[in-house]
Structure 1
Amino acid sequence: MASKFVVFGGNGFLGKRICQEAVTAGYQVVSVSRSGKAPHSTELNDKQWMQEVQWTAADIFKPDSYHMLLKDAANVVHTLGILLENENYKKTLSKTPTNDSRSHLLFLGTGPNPLKKESPYFTYEMMNKQSAIMLANTFKQEIIKKSKKEQAKVNGRSFTYISADRGFPMIPSGYINSKREAELEIEKMQEYFRPIIMRPGFMFDEHRNAIGPRSFIHGALELLYCGNKFLLQNKLQFMNELIRPTVSTQQVSHSILTKIENPDFKGVVSLEEILKA
């Protein structure tokens, strides 16, 4: 029987590509989200693999709503998170761009809203940090319930957390701080599973051709990166730290599966390593 692969936020911008990669690799894939619905897509290829995924609704902050899904899971992936403590930036990403390009640089998101705007959970502390720690702890508790022999099979289990390469200009430090704090707490649980910490930069989807704010930002960042590489030849360290390469959701997903399928791997996967995927 195929190993169970559970993706929290599996209908999001990155989450759906992780589900697709896992289905292709032969896993039994479960997507857990607030709505429990598959993402909208007009692509025939998407519709084919989406039929293989179990789309399930649950609340990340209520373990009782999903702990049974983790009972026999071999791999758990947490993709939830926010870049700004305001849900409107994610809505903006799906709109047609305006002439005010400066505003687009503030709206760097990674998926659909996991919670309603009025929710007290829509903070860096709760969404980026506590939701991941709560999920990891719930996974850990399900492992503890197993026999000693099953508990000992640590290399066969993994918990993947989608962190970030670094912070973004004009984005509060709470964003990257919450990510790093979550990483530390998750790595403490390596007695029960292999912690895999992914640190991607700004993400784009290779199969999305629609023009919008995300495409605008992707193009602008690529232009800056190429200018720094070919014109400045990466000679200015502060520019190298500020201008980072973009990465596709497909590259991130492939890298995740590669690390999961290596029973000896645990720890941080840098942006540079993801780009090699």
Structure 2
Amino acid sequence: MQLTMPGADKRKLLVIGGNGFVGRQVCKYAVRSGKFAVTSLSRRGECPKPNDPELASVTWVAGNALDKPTVDKYVGQSDAVVHAIGLLFDVNSGLTFLNTFTSASKSKPDEGESTYDNITRKTALLAIAALKAKNALPAMMGKRAPFGFVSCAESGWPDVQFGEQVEAAAPEWLKRYLVAKRAVEAELASSTGSLRPVIVRPSLIWDWKKFDVLPIIPFFNLASAIGVPFVDKTVRVEDVGRSIVAGLLDESVSGVQRFEAMEQLSEALEVPR
């Protein structure tokens, strides 16, 4: 797999939500690759680890990803975009207190605004529209700009045995979560004429410090290993970040990437772990 790009100039990468659990790994490995000048757009616009030399080299900007002029400005300055913002429990879930434990950035949902539809669907669709508009310029004709999106394994339930039955029994908050993820996937699938979507679908994402998911990882991995069709193997957050960066660089990568593809892309990225 060829992951090098012609030209000495770095491409400009915008990571929407670069201070989050996955976003900061995308930023780190994009910087480490030497191929990108990275900007992160988030509400606070602060580096999550100022002492990390790679994260410190990212340009951190504060802004609302629901604000069209803000999104248009920063996407318009970029050659590639990764959408890595999201929340597991929105303001309508009744479980917002759990975000304190599940969010790596310790972000707290804003009352009224922090719904799955706003945080996932609307922000992503604004970014997709902005990148498509830039790619429609004469200088970009014939090129497909890469757009990375962090979806979830459960988004693919309708395509696997027993998946629809499992989803029918899922709580309402999870169903709304999946509606938002699938809406973004559908928009990207219909935009392949001008964009190259890199859609990663991890199940549980973990590292050794994420104590909220460590106890259940063996159960997911065992279920996946014995062939339970609606359960995917868990993926380390470093591999999710590496796979997105590899997908941005490799022009042959397009569409949905499940855990096997994410692991292969992560291995193929020729930068140190």
**Normalising by structure 1, what TM-score?**
0.78
Of the two, which has the highest radius of gyration?
1
Q: 1:164 aligns with which of 136, 140, 152?
A: 152
Question: What code does the residue aligned with 1:117 have?
Answer: D
1:9 is aligned to 17
Q: CA deviation at 1:226?
A: 5.3
2:214 is aligned to 218
SS of residue paired to 2:174: coil
SS of residue paired to 2:241: helix
2:66 is aligned to 61
- Equivalent-residue separation in structure 1 for 2:149 and 2:64 (angstroms): 17
Q: Is the 8 A contact 2:25 2:237 kept in 1?
A: yes
2:101 is aligned to 92
* In the alignment, structure 1 residue 29 sits paired with structure 2 residue 38: yes
Q: 2:85 aligns with which of 73, 80, 87?
A: 80
Q: Is the 8 A contact 1:225 1:243 kept in 2?
A: yes
**Normalising by structure 2, what TM-score?**
0.79
* In the alignment, structure 1 residue 255 sits paired with structure 2 residue 243: yes
- Give the unaligned 5+ runs of structure 2: 1-8, 156-166, 267-273
Question: What code does the residue aligned with 2:174 have?
Answer: P
- Equivalent-residue separation in structure 2 for 1:215 and 1:141 (angstroms): 42
* In the alignment, structure 1 residue 190 sits paired with structure 2 residue 186: no
* In the alignment, structure 1 residue 270 sits paired with structure 2 residue 262: no
SS of residue paired to 1:181: helix
Q: 1:243 to 1:23 in 2, by over 3 A?
A: same
Q: CA deviation at 1:243?
A: 4.3
- Equivalent-residue separation in structure 2 for 1:226 and 1:58 (angstroms): 38
- Equivalent-residue separation in structure 2 for 1:123 and 1:50 (angstroms): 28
Q: Is the 8 A contact 2:88 2:99 kept in 1?
A: no
Aligned residues: percent identity? 22
Question: What code does the residue aligned with 1:151 have?
Answer: M
SS of residue paired to 1:185: helix
Deviations 1:42-82 (A, max 9, x none): xx5xx111221100111111121232222241110001112
CA RMSD of aligned residues (A): 2.3
- Equivalent-residue separation in structure 2 for 1:159 and 1:57 (angstroms): 21
Question: What code does the residue aligned with 2:199 have?
Answer: I
Q: 1:60 to 1:183 in 2, by over 3 A?
A: same
How many pairs align?
A: 238
